[in-house]
Amino acid sequence: MPAPRRARTRLACGLAATAVAAALAFAPLAAVGGTLRQALAWLAALGLLLAAGAALRLASLLAPALVVLLAEYTLVLVGRGGRVHAAAPLVGAGLLLYAELASWAREARPRVRDERPVLTARATMVAASALAALGLGVLVLLAAAVPAGGGLARLAVGVVAATATLALVALVARPTSTRAPRG
């Protein structure tokens, strides 16, 4: 496979990721109005800038891009009031899709020739992840709508989930390198 074609894979993934990020950044703006909308537009622009940077240039911008997009969505949710946003699973799946495409774009180095099974498996994995994320988001929203034990039980579940995630953070942050002799 000639080098330009390999570079096209990288560019296509990067542009697709940027497109998803643009949708994530600007679609929620329709749900709000007034000054909040103007403020969120700036945040959306920043999020898009970071997202494009992460997808096309610097992998280290991935976390800031996700955080800004999440912050924007959180502000939109706050601005909406008490109503549950039914499109939240789409946002979750979109965030995951954006992150996967961006990391794929960084992974597809022009000098490395990916064999077709690798590309097929990766595309399948990304699509399956996005669909699973969508399904999981729907399940979470449905579970949240079920009256189960009142507010205290739900709070307990939330605390357990948050604690588990923080434990996960600690697990990931620990040194994980394992070395074997060279050669």
Partner 1 sequence: MTRRPTAKIAAYVGVAALALLAGLALGRPELVAVAAPLAVLVVAGLAGARDPELAAEVTVDRERALVDDQVTVELTVRAADPVERLEVLLVVPPGMDGPDGAVRSWAVAVRLAAGEERTVAVPLTCRRWGAYALGDVHLRAHDRFRLFTWERHLDRQAALKVFPVPDALRALVRPFETQVSTGSHVAAQRGDGIEFADLRPFLPGDRPRSINWRATARRGALMVNQRHPERATDVVLFLDSFLDVRGPAGSTLDQAVGAAASLASAYLRQRDRVGLVSFGGFVQWLQPGSGQAALYRLLDTLMETQVFATAAWKGIRHLPPRTLPAKALIVALTPLLDERGVAALFDLLARGYDLAVVDISPLTHAGRAGGEWDELARRLWALERETLRHRYQRLGAAVVEWSDAMHLQQVLLEVEACRRRAGLAPG
* Beta strand ranges found along 126-166 (DSSP E): none
Per CB under 8 A, the segment of 10-18, 33-41, 42-50, 83-91 that binds partner 1 is: 83-91
Residue 60 interacting with partner 1 (CB under 8 A):
yes
Q: Is the dihedral of CA 114, 116, 118, 120 positive or negative?
A: positive
The reply on whether position 81 binds partner 1 by CB under 8 A is no
5 counts as binding partner 1 under rule CB under 8 A: no
Residue 6: CB atoms within 10 Å = 17
Q: Is there a contact between 99 and 51 (Cβ–Cβ < 8 Å)? A: no
Per CB under 8 A, 171 contacts partner 1? yes
Q: Judge whether 21 and 91 are in contact, CB under 8 Å.
A: no
How many Å separate Cα 158 from the centre of its chain?
A: 21
Contact letters (x/-) for partner 1, 40-59, by CB under 8 A? Answer: -------------------x
CA distances from 22 to 29, 34, 69, 83, 100 (A): 11, 21, 10, 24, 15
Binding site for partner 1 (CB under 8 A): 2-3, 59-60, 62-63, 66-67, 70, 73-74, 77-78, 84-85, 88-89, 91-93, 95-96, 99, 103-104, 107, 109, 111-115, 117-118, 121-122, 125, 129, 132-133, 136-138, 140-141, 144-145, 155, 158-159, 161-162, 164-166, 168-169, 171-173, 176-180, 182-183
